[in-house]
Amino acid sequence: MKPKYSPPPVAPESTGPLFKRLLKYVKNYRLGFVLAVAGMVSYSAIDAFFFSQIQNFIDNGLTEKNSELLFYMGLAIPFIFITRGIANFLATYSLSWVGTHVVNELRQDVFNHLIKVPVAFHDQNSTGDLIAKITYDIEQVQAASSKALMTLVREGAFVIGLLVVMFYLSWQLSLVFLVIGPVVGVVVKHVSRRFRMVSKRIQKAMGNVTSVSEQMLNGHKVVVMHGAQGIEQQKFAHITGKTRQQQMKLVSTRALSVSAIQIIASLALAAVLLIASNPSFLESLSTGAFTTVLTCMMTLLRPLKLLTTVNSEFQKGMAACASVFELLDEAAEDDCGDKEIERIKGKIEFKQLNFTYLGKEQPTLKDINLTIEPGTTVALVGKSGSGKSTLTNLLTRFYEYDSGEIKLDDIPIKSLRLASLRNQFAMVSQHVILFNDTIANNIAYGMLDKVSREDIEAAAKAGYVTDFTDSMPLGLDTQIGENGMNLSGGQRQRITIARAILRDAPVLILDEATSALDTESEKQIQTAIESLSQNKTVIVVAHRLSTIENADKIVVMDKGEIVEAGTHQTLLAHNGVYRQIYDIQFVGH
């Protein structure tokens, strides 16, 4: 599925394009946005109107002793403030409604995109940083799209309204603001740049906080076993200390900017009083008009302060937008194939295959040539780092190879759609991944809408899952916790085998499937795997040679190259690398 839109990357320093791009998310909620703006403008217009009536109240109501005017003003004030309250509610509710929808959609887009980006992207970015983007960064966007935007629009409209009232009553006194306006603009521009820079540092620091916390929580047993609590505490204290420093820089910048603008505004107020002190000028201005202008000028200090203060929140939001949009601009997996296949026979060919991991100089795989016939079992053996698992990762297109070709049933895999390609494989790995759900739903993961309860139960029985679920009160409907934390290693592995059985793919990849298990669990799982492997092409990545002695072909890899291939007996007779590995594992045992 294509993304909703793919705009060009936005420079983090540019607020305009960032905000314009954020507004594209508002288009589905434009009615709420229009109501919010109308409410904010109405709220500010009512306040400005109230100030405009001060002259009338003083000159006509008090000075002229017009009791009728004062009476009608008294009647009107409650209705004016009721209208003001309605406008405020409309603005607050509508903007929050739009903001929560926008943030929800943006967060969903980020989550969806993280699923689509290549495995290589996840290799290069820590999980903590990515989680911080989904949580902290998007929370900052919400602050910019609701609270900050409301203050900017409402207080901005109020400032404009006050200036209109002032210029209407005395344009000569109000001209002072044409002088201080550009000065305030320069201060705000400089401060905005500073806010953006510091906010980006805070976002990075928050990503580090998440990363360190995640590492400690995931590795808690290792931490306590090695008595490294103090090390982790110091590491976390160092990172949170940096975060605190950046936050204090933000606070000091905000405080200085507010003080600077208020000092500038006070100079303008002083200038007005000096001008008004001229006797001839004072005679031309009524008491009500002068009082209104003076009150408006003093009132301007508060919205100017709010505008400067909220600017920091707005710039934090824009910095977060830049971070989020940078992630959304990452290229998704290249699903360039146009062919769909239902089910392959299982023939696999690697031709002159070369691959180097991003950032590495030495190639991981060099000139790999290998043919796997349908229905056969091929084992890949060799030292760690020899390229065994990489070969299977290229087969499923988790990574894109540099040169050469991989074919399934004589069809180049790059001509196949990714979903169609990956449907041909079932994988059982030593790195078991389970979800915080029931055992049944974990077995049927990704297939719940395609299989029946009977299918799930049959797969569970074939994978020996029912051996332990039958003693559980809820059976297959037992919740297993995060990554199966409530289960043993063997039980978790059996669930992944049942998942592979249910998938019933023509090609089965076993990547060190039993290496982390005890002898009893290994025997049970080997039995389940033998059942699973019937009438399938099987690729086994193994360290223990005892698990692959009966393979149709054993491929020995070393430093990214195939150095030997043959059956167990022929390789032993060859007295090569395989024989060396065999002797290390079995001689003397």
Is the pLDDT reported for residue 58 higher than 50?
Answer: yes
* CA neighbor of 260 nearest in space, from 299, 199, 307: 307
Which residues lie below 8 Å from residue 158, measured CB to CB, with a gap of 6+?
44, 47, 48, 303
| Domain count for the chain | 2
Dihedral of CA 336/339/340/346: which sign? negative
What's the per-residue H, E or C state across 134-159?
Answer: HHHHHHHHHHHHHHHHHHHHHHHHHH
Domain identity same for 138 and 176: yes
- The reply to whether 100 falls in a domain is yes
For residue 487, is it within any domain? yes
| Residue 554 located in a structural domain | yes
Higher-pLDDT residue of 77 and 392 is 392
Domain termination residue (choose one: 264, 295, 328): 328
Q: What is the pLDDT of residue 68?
A: 76
Whether 323 contacts 200, CB under 8 Å: yes
pLDDT at 489 over 70: yes
Question: Quick one: 136 and 195 in the same domain?
Answer: yes
Which residue among 282, 297, 328 closes a domain? 328
**9 domain residue, yes or no:** no
The crossing angle, in degrees rounded to 10, of helices 287-328 and 15-23 is: 80
What separation in angstroms does the CA of 352 have from each of 368, 453, 571? 5, 45, 23
Contacts of 11 (CB under 8 A, 6+ apart): 17, 322
User: Do both 185 and 154 map to the same domain?
Assistant: yes
C-alpha 477/C-alpha 480 separation (Å) is 9
- Please report, for the domain that includes residue 407, its CATH number: 3.40.50.300
Q: How many other C-beta atoms are found inside a 10 Å radius of the C-beta of residue 80?
A: 15
Residues 264 and 409 in one domain: no
47: containing domain = 15-328
Q: Answer with the residue of higher pLDDT: 585 or 203.
A: 585
Same domain, 81 and 138: yes
Beta bridge partners of 479: 438
Domain shared by 247 and 391, yes or no: no
Both tokens of 373, joined, read: 């016939």
Q: 502 and 404, same structural domain?
A: yes
Q: Say if CB 508 and CB 528 are below 8 A apart.
A: no
Distances in Å between the alpha carbon of 389 and those of 48, 396, 427? 70, 11, 12
**Single-letter code of the amino acid located at 435:** F
Does position 486 have pLDDT exceeding 90, yes or no? no
Query: What number is the average pLDDT over the span 517-545?
Result: 75
Residues 320 and 353 in one domain: no
Span 347-375, average pLDDT: 91
Tell me the average pLDDT of the chain. 80
- pLDDT band, very low/low/confident/very high, at 2 (cuts 50, 70, 90): very low
Confirm whether 3 is domain-assigned: no
Tokens of 414: 């790059």
Q: What is the per-residue pLDDT across 222-244, written as a single tens digit (0 to 9) for each? A: 666 657 777 778 888 888 888 88
Same domain, 246 and 364: no
| Apex 233 CA angle, 227 and 237, nearest 5 | 165
Same domain, residue pair 216 and 245: yes
What is the share, in percent, of the chain residues with pLDDT greater than 90? Answer: 14
Q: What is the DSSP letter of 483?
A: G
Q: Is the dihedral of CA 359, 361, 367, 369 positive or negative?
A: negative
Residue that has been written with the tokens 């393979």 in this structure: 551
In a domain, 53, yes or no: yes
If asked whether residues 263 and 380 sit together in one domain, one would say: no
> Do 79 and 36 share a domain, yes or no?
yes
Query: What's the CATH code of the domain at 237?
Result: 1.20.1560.10
Asked whether residue 405 carries a pLDDT value surpassing 80, the answer given is yes
Domain boundary among 328, 359, 382: 328
Examine residue 6 and state whether it is found in any structural domain, yes or no: no
Residue 365 in this model has a pLDDT that exceeds 70:
yes
Residues 226 and 247: their CA atoms lie apart, in Å, by 34
- pLDDT, one tens digit per residue, over 17-47 is 887 888 788 888 888 888 988 888 888 888 8
Q: Has residue 335 been placed in a domain?
A: no
